[in-house]
Amino acid sequence: MTYPYGLKENPYPSSPTPTEHDARILGGTRHNEAKGAIIECISDLYRKISRKKATENDFRLITVVQDVGSGKTHLALHIKTLKTRQDIVTSYVDLSTISPKTNESIYGAMVSGFGRDLFSEMREKLLWQICDAAQKGDVHARRAIGYGFVDRLKGITMKQKTEDIIYDKKTISEEGLAGYLATNYSHHEAAVVKSTILRTEDRITNLDDLHGRLGAIARFSHNLLGKVILFELDELDSQEGTLDFVKSLINAHIPSSILLLITTPSVYLDVQRVNPSVFDRLEKANYKIDLAGANSIDELIEIAVEYIREADKTARFNKKEQQDLAAKIRVLCDEFPEFRNVRSIINILNHAVEKAADLGEQVISEPVIDETIKQTYPGLKIKGSIMEVPISEFIRIKRASGTTQNQVKEALSNLINYAHEMGNVSKSSKQNPSFDVVYSDAFGTKIGVAVVMDSSHTKNFEMISNVVKSSAFVDKLVILTNTSIPQSGQAIIVNVDKSKVVDLLYFSSKYSEHKLEEPETEKIKMLAKTICVI
Amino acid sequence: MNSQILERVVASGVCGIKKAELKKAFGKECDTSLDELAKDEKIIVDNKGVAHYVWSKENYVSHISENDPKFKIISGLVKNLENSVNQLKIDLASGPQADPGHRVYSDFKASFDGALSDLSTSMGWVQFTAIRQKVCDSLGISAEKFYSLALQLIESNEGKYEISTGGQEGIHVRGLLHGYVRRL
pLDDT digits (tens, 9 = 90+) for A330-350: 888 887 878 888 888 999 999
pLDDT digits (tens, 9 = 90+) for B53-68: 998 887 888 788 778 8
Please give the biggest Cα pair distance in chain A: 123
What are the chain A neighbours of B172 within 8 Å (beta carbons)? Answer: none
Q: Which of B121, B167, B174 sits opposite A338 (nearest CB)?
A: B174
Which bin fits A531, alpha (ψ -120 to 50), beta or left (φ > 0)? alpha
Average pLDDT in the B25-46 region? 84
- The better pLDDT of the pair B109, B104 is held by B109
Percent of chain A at pLDDT > 70 equals 98
Query: CA B102, B107, B113, B115 torsion: positive or negative?
Result: negative
User: In the prediction, which pLDDT does A90 show?
Assistant: 92
Confidence of residue A95 (pLDDT cuts 50, 70, 90): very high
pLDDT digits (tens, 9 = 90+) for A154-179: 899 999 999 999 999 999 999 999 99
Instruction: Name residues whose C-beta falls within 8 Å of residue A311's C-beta, 6 or more positions apart in sequence.
Output: A7, A8, A9, A11
Residue B101, pLDDT above cutoff 70: no
CB contact under 8 A, B123 and A266: no
User: In the prediction, which pLDDT does B100 show?
Assistant: 59
- The better pLDDT of the pair A350, B15 is held by A350
CB contact under 8 A, A67 and B164: yes
Cα–Cα distance between A228 and A258 in angstroms, integer? 8
What are the chain B neighbours of A340 within 8 Å (beta carbons)? Answer: 173
Instruction: Name residues whose C-beta falls within 8 Å of residue A11's C-beta, 6 or more positions apart in sequence.
Output: A25, A307, A308, A310, A311, A353
| Distance between B49 CA and the closest CA of chain A, angstroms | 33
Confidence of residue B36 (pLDDT cuts 50, 70, 90): confident
Q: Where are the alpha helices (DSSP H) in A146-203?
A: 149-154, 158-166, 174-184, 187-198
User: In the prediction, which pLDDT does A401 show?
Assistant: 58
The residue ranges of every structural domain in chain A are 22-115+207-289, 119-198, 311-399, 402-530
Task: Tell me, yes or no, if A266 comes closer than 8 A to chain B by beta carbon.
Answer: yes
DSSP state for residue A24 in the 8-state scheme: G
| Topology of domain B100-183, CATH | Arc Repressor Mutant, subunit A (1.10.10)
User: In the prediction, which pLDDT does A229 show?
Assistant: 93
Are A437 and A412 within 8 A, CB to CB? Answer: yes
Confidence of residue B99 (pLDDT cuts 50, 70, 90): low
Task: Tell me, yes or no, if A483 comes closer than 8 A to chain B by beta carbon.
Answer: yes
Q: State the average pLDDT for chain A.
A: 88
CB contact under 8 A, B90 and A288: no
Cα–Cα distance between A365 and A352 in angstroms, integer? 9
pLDDT digits (tens, 9 = 90+) for A228-254: 999 999 999 999 889 999 999 999 999
Q: How would you write A413-441 as a 3-class SS string?
A: HHHHHHHHHHCCCEECCCCCCCCCEEEEC
Average pLDDT in the A425-453 region? 85
User: In the prediction, which pLDDT does A462 show?
Assistant: 85
pLDDT digits (tens, 9 = 90+) for A15-38: 888 888 888 889 999 999 999 999
CB contact under 8 A, A486 and B164: no
Class of domain A402-530: alpha beta
User: In the prediction, which pLDDT does B92 show?
Assistant: 60
Cα–Cα distance between B144 and A107 in angstroms, integer? 47
Class of domain A22-115+207-289: alpha beta
This prediction's pTM? 0.74
Are A255 and A222 within 8 A, CB to CB? Answer: yes
Confidence of residue A275 (pLDDT cuts 50, 70, 90): very high
CB contact under 8 A, A458 and B90: yes
Residue B166, pLDDT above cutoff 70: yes
- The better pLDDT of the pair B171, A390 is held by B171
Domain B2-64 has CATH 1.10.10: yes
Q: Which residue of chain A has the CA closest to B79?
A: A462
What are the chain A neighbours of B166 within 8 Å (beta carbons)? Answer: 264-267
Domains A22-115+207-289 and A402-530 share a fold: no
Confidence of residue B96 (pLDDT cuts 50, 70, 90): very low
Confidence of residue A517 (pLDDT cuts 50, 70, 90): confident
pLDDT digits (tens, 9 = 90+) for A77-88: 999 988 655 688
Of A338, A344, A352, nearest in space to A308 by CA: A352
Task: Tell me, yes or no, if A380 comes closer than 8 A to chain B by beta carbon.
Answer: no
Cross-strand partners of A65: A263
pLDDT digits (tens, 9 = 90+) for A315-330: 788 888 999 999 989 8
Instruction: Name residues whose C-beta falls within 8 Å of residue A416's C-beta, 6 or more positions apart in sequence.
Output: A425, A427, A437, A439, A449, A533
CB contact under 8 A, B162 and A292: yes
